[in-house]
Amino acid sequence: MIVTVGIDLSAGFVMGLAAVCVAQFTLFGSGSPWILIVSIPLTIVVCLIPGLVNGVLIAWLGVLAFIGMYSGGVQAFSRPAAA
């Protein structure tokens, strides 16, 4: 049903990515009161990347939303095989 209707589930993926990014960026400057001013724009920039990739796949290339979202998540978290 999800594949045929075209529900885009990438919002949950990007929200999870944003939570991890903010947590990681705030660890670097945990003693600074300005760290959120730096970490929030950095998180927005990082989260724009999968959003743009999914948008291009779905809107411009005509890939089904579920397939585009799934392939984007797989590509983001896949690692090369050890030799």
pLDDT in tens, 11-63: 777 888 899 999 988 888 777 778 888 899 999 999 888 888 888 888 888 88
pTM of the model: 0.71
C-beta of residue 50 within 8 angstroms of C-beta of residue 72: yes
Residue 33 lies in domain: 2-77
Q: Is residue 42 part of a domain?
A: yes
Which position has the higher pLDDT, 74 or 34? 34
Structural domain count, the chain: 1
Q: What angle is formed at CA 18 by the lines to CA 15 and CA 8, rounded to 5 degrees?
A: 30
Q: What is the mean pLDDT of residues 66-81?
A: 63
User: Quick one: tokens of 36?
Assistant: 């959120």
Asked if 56 contacts 35 with a C-beta cutoff of 8 angstroms, the reply is: no
Interior angle at CA 36, CA 32 and CA 40, nearest 5: 150
pLDDT (0 to 100) of residue 17? 86
Q: Is residue 82 domain-resident?
A: no
The answer as to whether 47 is a domain residue is: yes
Place of tokens 């990438």: 10
Q: Judge whether 83 lies within some domain.
A: no
Q: According to the model, what pLDDT value does residue 19 have? A: 92
